[in-house]
Amino acid sequence: MTHHVYLFIKHRSTPSDGPELLGGKGANLAEMSRLGLPVPPGFTLSTEVCNHFLAHKGEYPKGLHADVEEALAAIGEVMGSHFGDPDDPLLVSVRSGARQSMPGMMETVLNVGLTPNTLPAMIEKTGNPRFVYDAYRRLITMYSDVVMEKGAGINPGEDAGIRVQLDAMLEEVKHEHGHTTDADLTADQLKVLCDRYRDRIQEVLGCPFPDDPLEQLWGAVSAVFTSWNGKRAKSYRRIEGIPDAWGTAVNVQAMVFGNMGPTSATGVAFTRNPATGSNVFYGEWLPNAQGEDVVAGTRTPYALNQESKTNTNTELPTLEDIQPEAYQQLVEIRTTLEQRYRDMQDIEFTVQEGRLWMLQTRTGKRNGAAALHIAVDMVEEGLIEHREAIQRVLPSQLDELLHPMIDPVAEGSCTPLARGLPAGPGGAGGKIVLTADRAEKLGKAGEQVVLVRAETSPEDVHGMHVAQAIVTAKGGMTSHAALVARGWGKTCVVGCGELDIQLAAGTVTVTGADGETVLREGDWLTVNGSTGAVYSEELALVDTDPEKNPILSTFLGWCDRVRRLNIRTNADSPDDAALARRFGARGIGLCRTEHMFFGEERILAMREMILADTPEEQEEAVAKLLPYQKQDFKGILRVMEGLPVTIRLLDPPLHEFMPQNPDQIREIAKSTGKDEAAVRLRIEQLHELNPMLGHRGCRLGITHPAITRMQARAILEAAAELTLEGVDARPEIMVPLVSHIKELEDQKSIIQSVAAEVMAEIGVEDLKYLVGTMIELPRAALLADEIATEADFFSFGTNDLTQMTCGFSRDDVVTFLPFYLERGIYQFDPFASLDRTGVGQLVAMATERGRSTRSDLKIGICGEHGGDPASIRFFHQVGLDYVSCSPFRVPIARLAAAQSALADEG
């Protein structure tokens, strides 16, 4: 026998080949057979056969037919019945099995081998003509659809396929006889139906339904291989990044039947609870049923055992009750499989007339809580090592644990009203409000609200803060709304283009597939920020509290022992800083100072500064901001005692601090004593065609040195006063948007002179502080060696670096990036996960060049990518010292950093 056909027969399967050749399902069937588990015998046609078949226009490797017939004979020997034998026929299933699971993407044909010739023997053998004709009906339905129509490349268009026609005929027959369910059909009625099916197939597809078992078998095998290149399978592979070249294996296996009568059954089980991770056997089953009946949801499944009972099946018997022997055998198999695979397994089984058969085992899918629980338990059970446990939990699973989520059961039964981009994770709900002011008012009154805006701006921050969730019609993953929401760990959906907001009318019109829906302020909205779905129903939430989760602490403790990257947080307030510290942040990597300017009195001073006519007026206005800023910094530095706190000098363009509406302009003119026209003129002058590339960052500090002086003074006075109190304050002052070393020199010299003044004034002799810069412009990365000579540290601003390197405005990409992603032009959103081949080159280059002139240069990253696991992996590889992310992503970053370190070990 060549190595195209791999037998799996209890204790006799060929040496275990991997899923590359056998596919996942085939490899596991072979392994279970090797372990002596009761697997219906069968064989696998390898992925090589698939590739040969596809490369040679449907031809098979030489000798394959003989090998298959030999394998069928071997199965027949074990089962005691033979394929095509009119006296004692063996039926087989033909199933796909790719290296990586592609659920529902490829085809399956059951009951292959049933023909007018083998039917009588089957009836005799089972004594159940109804069962046999029903099996034949199922074969004809599947086969005509999968093999004769799709497999032949016929595309009759949606709702016109043969399957639809046959299903309609089934309904007709049921109707004729006044039946309501399939189960009511008698053997004779089914027999007539099968004959009608055959006639219709001949008529519609122009060829007879095959009566030769081998013809059926090869037809089914070919159809499965062909389905590898089906449209659905191909697009699934593109999304999941599965190479076309892998191909699928095909598994041909002796049929066993769970629907052969009251002592037959079928079921699925998990070796541990996949929703909680607790170490109990958990599953569902149905008596006298086939696997698809469990999955289809037409019958309420029974619980496998007491531990699996839910409120829908408390009264129904368990398998343990009904079939204690089979159940006991399953319990043993559960242990065998966990010992073998050292992970929670998802299994399928059938009991045929009291005899247990294992149809499938695979690593079980689980939610975040379960993944964590299982990993930690398995370490304690001695099944796996710490490092393995760390690798078992996906960062995205950890994310689930950190936010309340919509009850999955409730969500499953609803259709989203609209979909946008998942910008802030978790689930939340509340009454729709359309303005930040109203959100604040209702929020303060104790109402739960969802702020719905076309887009948000810094002036909406107060409303965003009280809202349960934020939904915007415009904007991308790094729009203002998304950034703020992620920073606060708040549920947020952005770019939800189906929403059209009528502010004046207080309504939101949603244009969906089902036409227009009009919502009003006060209507409820439930938002799933992890998927981007928005519901008009009020859905229940499942709460989570990471701080009260000792398993999480244990697990992250293991991560901390392994990782090399330091984890800091992006935090602008003492509260955020404290939260992040509890989540394990070891410092602040980015404290933005601009949000601090939006308080009522502060923004007025800021506006006075902007409107100042003379340097003196400007200094005077800026001076008013000093006490506020100092207080802010003092709070943050105190919370982060003993840890570094990187504070970025003012970054956004000044126009962001000015209002646009006439009333506010009038008010400002009044309060600053300026002419209204002059205020308007100044606002107009501040307007920029491309503010992202405009007068912002250190350009502000250079043209308005008063701002830098004030900010430096606020930071250094705060640190000096804390030092006098005995608090270990470690400020790191960061200059943004540097493109030229002279910009950094300019700002550094201001900071240094302020530092000297402050030390003298407050009487602290050797105040420790660092001065460094953002690396967020390509030019800075290219000239990092030069810039490093003036910088104590670098922090990559990968948001802006991505914008400049790719030429993408993160606020504007929404009009073409989704299209790009869909077409595979970009594989992923470069604002969500670092563009390693492009932007990553600049990160690597700047790191290397920076260290070439300053070996002790501290290097971190404080863009949104600091919380993205794939990006963290890259930053680890490049050799950064730390990543900084929003508080809620700190645990995720700790895990991702640990996984990166483990990946190094190979």
Residues making contact with a copy of itself (CB under 8 A): 685, 688-695, 697, 699, 702-703, 737, 739-740, 742-743, 746, 776-779, 782-783, 800, 803-809, 811-813, 815-816, 819-820, 823-826, 835, 837-839, 841-842
Catalytic pick among 52, 862, 865, 876? 862
- Shortest Å, Cβ 657 to a copy of itself: 15
**CA-CA distance, 841 to 679, in Å (whole number)?**
44
Give me the phi and psi of 740, to 5 degrees please: -145, 140
Which of 864, 627, 871, 860 is closest to 732 using CA atoms? 860
Least distance in angstroms from the C-beta of 150 to a copy of itself: 29
Q: Check: CB of residue 61 under 8 Å from CB of residue 2.
A: yes
Nearest distance, CB of residue 696 and a copy of itself, angstroms: 9
- Element (DSSP H or E) covering residue 53: helix 47-55
The residues with which 731 forms a beta bridge, in sequence order, are 645
In contact, 148 and 228? CB cutoff 8 Å: no
**CB of 835 vs a copy of itself, minimal distance in Å:** 7
Name the strands in the sheet holding 265-270, side by side, starting at the edge strand that comes first in the sequence: 302-303, 282-287, 265-270, 345-352, 355-363
Check if the beta carbon of residue 597 is closer than 8 Å to that of residue 458: no
Nearer to a copy of itself, 182 or 459 (CB): 459
Backbone angles phi, psi at 277, to 5 degrees: 85, 0
Identify the active-site residue in 480, 655, 865, 876. Answer: 480
Q: Residue 776 or 864: which CB sits closer to a copy of itself?
A: 776
Output 31 or 835, the one with its CB closest to a copy of itself. Answer: 835
Pairing of strands 524-528, 427-433: antiparallel
Task: Pull the structure tokens for residue 9.
Answer: 């027969």
Question: 258: helix, coil or strand?
Answer: coil
Cβ 689 to a copy of itself shortest distance, Å: 4
480 in catalytic set? yes
**CB closer to a copy of itself, 107 vs 460:** 460
Give the shortest CB-104-to-a copy of itself separation in angstroms.
29
Nearest to 649 by CA among 693, 604, 696, 708: 708
Spatial strand order of the sheet with 507-512 comes to 499-502, 507-512, 515-520
- Rounded CA-CA distance 269/348 in Å is 7
- Measured from the CB atom, is 300 or 457 closer to a copy of itself? 457
Nearer CB in complex with a copy of itself: 688/721: 688
Nearer to a copy of itself, 690 or 855 (CB): 690
For the residues of 651-715, what is the DSSP string, one character each? -S-GGGGS--SHHHHHHHHHHHT--HHHHHHHHHHH--SSGGGSS-THHHHHH-HHHHHHHHHHH
Q: Is the CB of 492 or the CB of 698 nearer to a copy of itself?
A: 698
Give the integer Cα–Cα distance in Å for 475 and 488.
18
Q: Are 450 and 431 in contact (CB under 8 A)?
A: yes
At closest approach, how far in Å is the CB of 831 from a copy of itself?
12
Q: Quickly tell me which residue has 């019109």 as its tokens.
A: 509
| Counts of helices then strands in the chain (DSSP H, E) | 35, 33
Q: How does 487-520 read in b/e, with b if 16+ C-beta sit within 10 Å?
A: bbbbbbbbbbbbbebeeeebbbebeeeeeeeebe
- Closest CB to a copy of itself among 563 and 709? 709
The per-residue DSSP string of 731-743 comes to: EEEEE-S--SHHH
Residues 6+ apart with CB under 8 A from 326: 265, 319, 351, 354, 355, 356
Residue 478 C-beta: closest distance to a copy of itself, Å:
12
Closest CB 48 distance from a copy of itself, rounded Å: 31
Q: How far apart are CA 109 and CA 220, in angstroms?
A: 6
Q: Which residues pair with 419 in a beta bridge?
A: 533
- Hey, which residues are catalytic here? 480, 862
